[in-house]
Amino acid sequence: MELLRFTTAGSVDDGKSTLIGRLMYDTKTIFEDQLEAVVTSSKKRGDENVNLALLTDGLRAEREQGITIDVAYRYFATPKRKFIIADTPGHIQYTRNMVTGASTANLAIILIDARKGIVEQTCRHSFIASLLRIQHVVLAVNKMDLVDYSEARFDEIVSAYKEFASRLQIPQMTFIPMSALNGDNVVEKSANMPWYQGAPLLYHLETVYVGSDANHVDARLPVQWVIRPQSNEWHDFRGFAGRIAGGVFKPGDDVMVLPSGFTSKIKGIHTADGELEEAFHPQSVAITLEDEIDISRGDMIVKPNNQPNVSQDIEAMICWFSEKQKLNPGGHYILQHTSREVKAKVTAVRYKVNVNTLHKIEDDLEIGLNEIGRVAFRTSAPLFHDSYRRNRITGSFVLVDPFTNNTVAAGMIR
Amino acid sequence: MSHSYNLNHLDHLESEAIYVLREVAAQFQNPVLLFSGGKDSICVAHLAKKAFWPARPPFPFMHVDTGHNFPETIAYRDEFIANIGARLVVASVQDSIDKGRVVEEKGPNASRNALQTVTLLDAISENGFDCALGGARRDEEKARAKERFFSHRDDFGQWDPKNQRPELWNIFNGRMSPGEHFRVFPLSNWTEMDVWQYIKKENIPLPSLYFAHDREVVARQGTLLAVTDFVTVAEDEKAETRRVRFRTVGDATCTGAVESDADSLDAVIAEVAAARQTERGTRADDKRSETAMEDRKRQGYF
Ligand SMILES: Nc1nc2c(ncn2[C@@H]2O[C@H](COP(=O)(O)OP(=O)(O)O)[C@@H](O)[C@H]2O)c(=O)[nH]1
């Protein structure tokens, strides 16, 4: 069984909670005691119907305000795949939540209300999906029951979306007309829309090909930890442990270690289950080398004929997360990139992006909560990086405020 | 490309958990693994063994002992941990009671579950632990769905659900001020089914409580509680022997059994697949209020 991670985005009331509730209900992921609790609280709140949204609204503060305010993760499985949903709230100011949810997703479902068509938030959600390099986007045109299941209305929305999305980079787009409330084209094909030739949502989620989303070309192993057993049996064992961030490693491969530049050959690729013939993303392994080289956490094992960029000057798109402070031009931050941690100084703010229109803003360069902009940094030590476009792991970082220790921004390297 | 580079979901979850465990070893000075003898903490311990193999896990294991154990759990604990070669720290709720740190609940529903929080937080500060690894999963309960892998706790050990650090990609920020600590959950993305399938795949031995056996139980508020030294049968209640197993293993006073004939892993997995109740549905402590779990978590519960 494979794993598919997806994120869901939509404006408030487009039917996101209903859709997730339905996916979980129809795949038998909702248990009796959970349903019971929801029935009880729906009654307490005076809701007319059982409010499936309560199933997914986890925390007390949210229940009180009736809105979801943070990314929540939900799970369901069918015989074909296991799914992890990063459920992000549609509330207007929470760009940061969608960015967070999108960072680990292979696929994004963007909901729209068929009556309203494409709205500002649809643009924002699509832009974020594209920025975070989500390879597969599903535009779920919901509430088709309220537009008489009209094929013309659906076509109109699809062509408007394609027109807009041509400015983005989304490799695969799928359009599905549905009614989350009634279940049309969610799990079962809709009898109300015989004109729709495509598959229902769940079938698409079960079969969409995600095998080539990860980078299997540029070999990268950020070293997390060095395994040095204190036992006689393993006396000389020095395993460089980490999760493969890209490419394929095999015993006998020539490798180079950054930052030292020393080269060696892979002696073995070790796991507790035995040695591997090859290792690729996202496997966690420990590599031993033919030569004794001094390697520690934060170093990166690569191949001599395929090296990442090594530099102290970084250009990146960042999304700002802190409500307490804005990005300080000239400010110092801690930058976490793979297993490496360096200091970073902001050297320039190039522009900001209006996430609703995709226009560049160059006359106001203050980056605050939920804003996205292009920023240049100078780091205290070189980073070994690829562009985010090429590799989501070696191309991403977070900024940490050295005084509060909070994560204040996410960055995608150009 | 001659073949596709795909992992199945269990291998994927395993490699993610191992990654998280290694981050913990690297980012914290003095981490500890919370070991309850329940299947989830057994899985985390097993993963810790694999993550650092052929070395031993570079941190001790800690059991927060309510004193209300099923004897099977303690026997299992000692053997399992000896096998991994880890050091065991026992933090005892009885000690907390004796020292006057907590006051024992009274009455037929008395449980030491809430007291554990104080014992745990005391043990964390006495031992100077800066990170406690736990086996909690996001699918267990609503309040956990938004929990992070690296969950920050303030200097009172409390969790603030409104002020969590965003977690992106596989980058974890474990920075903190003195006195604060982290809870880290390597199984965040696992479901109950994943845990059972993994136990089968890895052939991990489990305490016998997880499999169907005959036991004297008493039905109380929709939960079947085992009759032990700590659970007294009231006058209007009747103890009877039934064929049961446990879906979680914790404090004997509040962990409910379910009627079951599943006496092998395969039978348990089949039962889990067909189940219509969450596993926490068998825990009396969650039924106290709708936000019971969230309230306990805020105060520093596991
Ligand atoms: N008619 C109709 N109503 C829907 C559909 N999907 C959701 N709704 C309703 O729209 C409202 C908002 O749905 P909800 O799932 O809470 O939206 P969210 O804010 O996106 O999570 C609720 O009253 C739903 O019952 C649909 O397909 N058709």
pLDDT in tens, A108-159: 999 999 999 999 889 989 999 999 999 999 999 999 999 999 999 999 999 9
Q: Which residue has the higher pLDDT, B131 or B250?
A: B131
What is the rounded average pLDDT for all residues in chain B?
84
Q: Is the pLDDT of residue A327 over 60?
A: yes
Give the residue, by CA position, lying nearest to ligand 1 atom 4: A181
Across residues A362-377, what is the average pLDDT?
A: 94
| Pick from A172-176, A260-264, A371-375, B36-40: least confident | B36-40
Q: Does B275 touch chain A (CB under 8 A)?
A: yes
- d(C-alpha A180, C-alpha B58), whole Å: 49
The pLDDT assigned to B285 comes to: 46
AA identity, residue A80: K
Q: Is the pLDDT of residue A35 over 70?
A: no
In CATH terms, is domain A220-302 a member of 3.40.50.150?
no
For CATH 2.40.30.10, list the domain ranges present in chain A. 220-302, 309-413
Q: Is the pLDDT of residue B236 over 90?
A: no
Element (H, E) at B45: helix B39-52
The pLDDT assigned to A30 comes to: 63
- Lookup: tokens for A256: 């180079």
What is the rounded average pLDDT for all residues in chain A?
90
CA dist A128 → A98, A170, A358 (Å): 7, 11, 10
Choose from A300-314, B99-113, B274-288 the range with maximum mean pLDDT: A300-314
- d(C-alpha A407, C-alpha B179), whole Å: 19
Give the residue, by CA position, lying nearest to ligand 1 atom 23: A13
A392 touches ligand 1 (CB under 6 Å): no
The pLDDT assigned to A385 comes to: 98
Q: Is the pLDDT of residue B85 over 70?
A: yes
Report pTM.
Answer: 0.91
> Domain B9-195+291-299 falls in which CATH fold?
Rossmann fold (3.40.50)
Query: Given its phi and psi angles, is residue A150 left (phi above 0), alpha (psi -120 to 50 degrees) or beta?
Result: beta
Across residues B10-37, what is the average pLDDT?
A: 96
The pLDDT assigned to A210 comes to: 87
CA dist A66 → A12, A42, B58 (Å): 11, 12, 44
Q: Is the pLDDT of residue B282 over 50?
A: no
pLDDT band of residue A55 (cuts 50, 70, 90) is: low
Check B5 against A396: CB less than 8 A apart: no
A10 touches ligand 1 (CB under 6 Å): yes
| Pick from A11-20, A66-75, A208-217: least confident | A66-75
Tens digits of per-residue pLDDT, B189-217? 999 899 999 999 999 999 888 999 998 88
Q: Which residue has the higher pLDDT, A207 or A47?
A: A207
The alpha carbon of B60 and the centre of ligand 1 are apart by a number of angstroms equal to 49
Q: Which percentage of chain B shows pLDDT scores above 90? A: 43
Give the residue, by CA position, lying nearest to ligand 1 atom 13: A15
Helices and strands in chain B: count of H runs, count of E runs = 8, 10
Which residues in chain A are closer than 8 Å to B144, comparing Cβ atoms?
A: 58
Task: Determine the Cα angle at B24 with ends B20 and B26, to 5°.
Answer: 115
Q: Which residue has the higher pLDDT, B14 or B70?
A: B14
Q: Which CATH architecture has domain A309-413?
A: Beta Barrel (2.40)
* Residue A129 · residue A160 · CB < 8 Å: no
Rg (CA), chain A: 24
Across residues A375-385, what is the average pLDDT?
A: 98
Phi/psi of residue B181, nearest 5 degrees: -150, 175
Across residues A61-89, what is the average pLDDT?
A: 76
Which residues in chain B are closer than 8 Å to A214, comparing Cβ atoms?
A: 5
Question: Burial, A296: exposed, middle or buried (Cβ in 10 Å; 0-12, 13-18, 19+)?
Answer: exposed
A17 touches ligand 1 (CB under 6 Å): yes
Q: Is the pLDDT of residue B274 over 80?
A: no
- Lookup: tokens for A52: 């499936």
Probe target for ligand 1 pocket from A7, A11, A16, A18, with the most ligand atoms within 8 Å of CB: A18
pLDDT band of residue B149 (cuts 50, 70, 90) is: very high
Strand spans (E) along A262-339: 263-271, 274-275, 279-280, 284-289, 300-302, 309-320, 332-337
The pLDDT assigned to B69 comes to: 79
Give the residue, by CA position, lying nearest to ligand 1 atom 9: A15
Tens digits of per-residue pLDDT, B241-271? 999 998 877 676 767 888 889 999 999 888 8
Q: Is the pLDDT of residue A21 over 60?
A: yes
A377 contact partners, CB below 8 Å, separation of at least 6: A313, A314, A315, A316, A335, A344, A345, A346, A347
Q: Which CATH architecture has domain A3-207?
A: 3-Layer(aba) Sandwich (3.40)
3-state helix, strand, coil in chain A (%, to 5): 20, 35, 45
Q: Spell out the domain ranges in chain B.
A: 9-195+291-299, 206-286
B274 contact partners, CB below 8 Å, separation of at least 6: none
Q: Searching chain B, which residue's CA lies closest to the CA of residue A5?
A: B189
- d(C-alpha A378, C-alpha A397), whole Å: 14
Spatial strand order in the sheet of A136-142:
A72-77, A81-87, A2-9, A107-113, A136-142, A172-177
Check A227 against B52: CB less than 8 A apart: yes
Q: Which percentage of chain B shows pLDDT scores above 70? A: 85
Q: Is the pLDDT of residue B74 over 90?
A: no
pLDDT band of residue B179 (cuts 50, 70, 90) is: confident
The pLDDT assigned to A97 comes to: 87
Q: Is the pLDDT of residue B31 over 90?
A: yes
Atom of ligand 1 nearest to the CA of A12: 19
pLDDT band of residue B218 (cuts 50, 70, 90) is: confident
- d(C-alpha A188, C-alpha A200), whole Å: 6
AA identity, residue A39: V
The pLDDT assigned to A407 comes to: 95
Question: Least CB-CB distance to B55: which of A31, A40, A227?
Answer: A227
Question: Least CB-CB distance to A243: which of B15, B49, B294?
Answer: B15
